[in-house]
Structure 1
Amino acid sequence: MRTSIRKSLCLALTLVALTSCGKGFLDEQPSQLPSGDQLKEAGKKSEDISLGFVNGVVSSFFKALQSTGGSHDDFAQKAFDISADLMSGDMEMRQSNYKWFQLPARLTSWQKDEINNYSVWRISYRTISLANGFFVTAGGDETVPGNSVAPETRFNWGQVKALRALAYLNLARFYGGPYSDATKSKPTVPVYKAADDASKPKGQSTLEQVYEQIVQDLKQAIEAIEGSGKSRPDRQYVDETVARVALARAYMDLGKWDEAYDVANKVITDQAATYPLIPAKELLTNGFNDYQTPEFIWAIDITKDNTGALLSFWGHVDVFTYGYAFVGARKAINKNISDQIPATDLRGDWFHPTMGVPWCKFFSASGKAAWEASGRQRYGVDRTWLSDIVFMRMSEVYLIASEAAARKGDDATSKTLLLTLLKQRTRDGKYTEVETATNALSHDDLLKTLLYNWRVEMWGEGQSLAVMRRFKNNVERSVRNGFLSGTTIKWDDPRLVYEIPQHEASNNQLIR
């Protein structure tokens, strides 16, 4: 796996050379993608093209500098996660001399000519382009491959379906905004499928149509992967569990609580033993830095060959890694949230008591060890940038299932699920107290408790903007925030929704 991921972009770039006489499609906009005939021809020229597509699509979620020539906040999904958390206000950043991520912190990244906006668009459509290229070579994307197709191909088909759906989910969340009866008919983004002539522009699908495509892709991904009988080599690839968590996310955005509960509960029922929650005794020492952490459902092994160095999640969030958090552009939990963390909650110790940085949640193992061994306790000592990254973990699944259960009126089940998580997040000797208090919660107070747990448990993992919208939670920027300090941002603030980038709007006459 490590070798194939490392070589994936080389193989994808070989495909580019085969499919274009001019600019390659990895550098093109969605209105300028290669034709099906070009992709079929490329498929004839390399027997490894299927694997190259799969690995290329996976790499598009973590490779740095896919949309710009040198922006240090251009490293795909984890950069999107930071932007979303800064926009929501759950993550705060000090003022600094470095421009990276200031736009989302200032709530100006929505503008059509801003780089953080363009990065989500360009990288998401790069993922979609690679995915559709795979489907062209694999016979299409409409029908799940049957038993006549090799199991490996069916498995890869399902993986790519799930990854394409995740790209569209990013587009829906950033460019579509909150989903409701009032917004579902809003023109959002173009939906490109394998049968489309992607060298020609398309108009925007509605937000409802984008989510319909996401849900269809994920259901088909699950069917294809399970029908293949294959298992992924390791958790860097996608399997049916990853697809189910993505589907549960989409259902939560849509307010389909029964469906979200059913999907999340199946993951818990079938996979809780495979992906056990980080236990309380390891919560402050895990560091979220090893992709093989048992709780992690989908995570990437960062190596010398694929690290983005400074251009990485760790280069921006971890004070023990040499990077922007170390030199002053610190990402911290909103002080108003950390002030709510009770003494019984172990997660209070995830964050520095005065700075609020996640020094016991996200930390380089070698960097923190060197810091602890140093009499001067220096930050920023890890200059290898080899800490791994996580995209999905089991705690999110428990929160989805618990919230969905509460929203559909089953508070008892909601509390049971939440307490399963809290048992591993509570200090020694305090669980009975927490259990009693949780079981006594009214429905409204249960929802407030779930909101609190989302904001603390998933801090820094890119879910806070979706949570803010779902709970209709207005967020006050704390006094520690260097941007819009003391300002309350409403959950439906128009600055939380991106405009179509200027480049696409100028070149696609069908954009409204």
Structure 2
Amino acid sequence: MKNFKILTGIAALGLLSSCSESFTDKDLRSNVSQQQIQELATSSPESLLVIAEGLEAGNYFFFNDFNTAGNGNIHDDYGQKSIEFGLDLMSNDAVQVINHWHGNYYRYTGRQTENRITDMVWKFYYKVIFNMNSTIDLIPEDSVNPDLLYLRARATMLRGFSYFNLVRLYANGEVGVPLYNEDTPQPGRVATTLIKAQVLQDLTYAYNNLTGYARPSKVEVNKNVAAGLLARYYLEYATTPAEYQLAATYAAEARSGFALSSNTLVITDANFDGFSQISNTEWIWGADITAATSTIYASFFSQVGSLNPGYAGLLNVWKSGDKRLVESISATDKRKEWFAAAGNPYGVPQYANLKFYDFTTFEGDYVFMRAAEMYLIEAEAKALAGDDAGARTALFNLVSTRDAAYTLSTNSGAALLSEIRKHRSIELWGEGFAFYDMKRWNTSLDRTYLGTNHASFGQVSYPAGSVKFTFQIPQLEMNNNIDITENNPF
């Protein structure tokens, strides 16, 4: 009976937390004593594992849940994928033709302190952090049960993943975000340097402690995913050739065992999967959407799939590629078919997305990481490290599977880097990287160019480094957290 009371208390703490609360105004650690947890880990590790796994499994569901912010019937709030595509709509590369769901991202109002989008993004990542801290607190670091230690490492990785996204969205120079870990909570705006250090610490811990872990499916994170996240981290923050080489090394490890696919890419391929099937050999990490977990109209394919029975297909809320990007794609490159040609047989406008298609009824799977991204990280990181030959090879290994006419690049230096980044923008279109890349490359937002195909309500342009590229902290957090005394510029 004693163990039962401990377990139910822990479960309630982790699973019944309210999204409406401020996540940065209290100690997020478990109220259960470490002595009780240690006793349970020793006397009944299986029971502790069940509860901790329940917290982690609940978090994976949360990654593709509906109404994660608790703000009501909001159909562009369906978890991680909704944030990823929303951010793409803040870049140069993606177009939304009608002001509808996701329109707050596209017209740059979503970043503002009183908008529901910044409220949702903030709550989403801090709830992941809250749940993962609850899981970590359950598992003693010196446990002798390997399954518990694997679980602790996976929870730590997801916490690092969340802080990585938060710091890239909300940090204003060295003014960062609140930090909650196993130590004393820091509800004020902790220095960005310290947040980055926490991210690196979390991802490195996960990587070092997942050797030997065999996950049951691609839904769970493992050492490959940890390597992929470390590759992203070093590509983002490296300042020396050695650090860029680390990005390349981790990227190569992350994609190990995941083969590039060339016959499932486009709608005219016999085995086209529409980027909707987690069984795709390229996918390293994703969400397996089922009838039980489907969020129907409030879902990625509903919002993006031009030929699916959702908002894009039924209401003609097309999501299109930027004209400049699409027209830069070689005629022999299969990826040109990801964007509808003029006079296409599908009845959609020119440049409309044909990359994403769900063959099911609102059960298309979500991709969070795939091998193609890792080739691109390897290529860009090697170029930035001065290894042009290695960068050319990594780029060729990817692009030659998309374009049979592609030959090994002869570019070097800035020209090679530009070529790699163009292919990154093409290959990863709609997958959640374009906005972060725009910030990382220090490029401007330019949607008002002559002949633009951007919708009039989204025809905004901002210079490189604009304050508009940083999200403001939501007003609810400003109201409830007395330790946050300043917001980001308007």
Aligned residue number for residue 259 of structure 1: 243
1:325 partner letter: A
1:339 Cα deviation from its structure 2 partner: 1.3
* C-alpha distance after superposition, 1:454-500 (max 9, x if no partner): 11000001111121122222242263221456543333221121111
Aligned residue number for residue 219 of structure 1: 204
Alpha-carbon spacing, 1:487–1:122, altered in 2? closer, same or farther (3 Å) = closer
Aligned residue number for residue 61 of structure 2: 59
Contact 1:155/1:230 (<8 A) preserved = yes
Normalised by the length of structure 2, the TM-score is: 0.86
**Correspondence list, 1:63-462, <5 A:** 63-67=65-69, 68-96=71-99, 98=100, 100-139=101-140, 145-146=141-142, 148-176=143-171, 183=173, 185=174, 187-196=175-184, 202-226=187-211, 229-256=212-239, 258-268=242-252, 270=253, 272=255, 274-279=257-262, 281-284=263-266, 285-326=272-313, 327-354=315-342, 355=349, 356-359=351-354, 361-366=355-360, 384-427=361-404, 430-431=405-406, 434-435=407-408, 438=409, 440-462=410-432
1:292 Cα deviation from its structure 2 partner: 1.3
1:221 partner letter: A
SS in 1 for 2:454: coil
1:27 Cα deviation from its structure 2 partner: 4.3
Aligned residue number for residue 465 of structure 2: 492
Distance 2:51 2:77 in 1: 27
Distance 2:460 2:187 in 1: 39
SS in 1 for 2:295: coil
471-480 or 411-420: bigger deviation: 471-480
2:418 partner letter: K
Distance 2:275 2:229 in 1: 20
Contact 1:94/1:482 (<8 A) preserved = yes
Distance 1:500 1:35 in 2: 19
1:14 Cα deviation from its structure 2 partner: 7.1
Distance 1:37 1:282 in 2: 46
Contact 1:33/1:129 (<8 A) preserved = no
1:30 Cα deviation from its structure 2 partner: 1.2
Q: What value does the CA root-mean-square deviation take over the aligned residues? A: 2.5
Contact 2:139/2:149 (<8 A) preserved = no
Identical-residue share of aligned pairs (%): 28
Aligned pair count reads 452
Contact 2:150/2:210 (<8 A) preserved = yes
* C-alpha distance after superposition, 1:342-377 (max 9, x if no partner): 212211111111432221x211125xxxxxxxxxxx
1:94 Cα deviation from its structure 2 partner: 0.8
Q: Which runs of 5+ in 2 are unaligned?
A: 1-6, 267-271, 343-348, 486-490
* C-alpha distance after superposition, 1:320-354 (max 9, x if no partner): 22211111221111111111112122111111114
Distance 2:55 2:429 in 1: 32
Distance 2:223 2:244 in 1: 15
Contact 2:302/2:309 (<8 A) preserved = yes
Distance 1:65 1:246 in 2: 26
Distance 1:357 1:244 in 2: 34
Does 2:443 match 1:473?
A: yes
Aligned residue number for residue 455 of structure 2: 482
Distance 1:275 1:396 in 2: 12
1:33 Cα deviation from its structure 2 partner: 5.0
Alpha-carbon spacing, 1:305–1:34, altered in 2? closer, same or farther (3 Å) = farther
Distance 1:396 1:489 in 2: 27
SS in 1 for 2:121: helix
Distance 1:241 1:17 in 2: 29
Distance 1:87 1:293 in 2: 28
1:231 partner letter: A
Contact 1:57/1:160 (<8 A) preserved = no
Distance 1:264 1:150 in 2: 33
Contact 2:213/2:222 (<8 A) preserved = no
Contact 1:29/1:125 (<8 A) preserved = no
1:25 Cα deviation from its structure 2 partner: 4.3
Distance 1:136 1:230 in 2: 21
1:343 partner letter: A
Alpha-carbon spacing, 1:298–1:169, altered in 2? closer, same or farther (3 Å) = same
1:451 Cα deviation from its structure 2 partner: 1.6
1:492 partner letter: G
Distance 2:412 2:213 in 1: 45
Distance 1:410 1:91 in 2: 31
2:303 partner letter: H
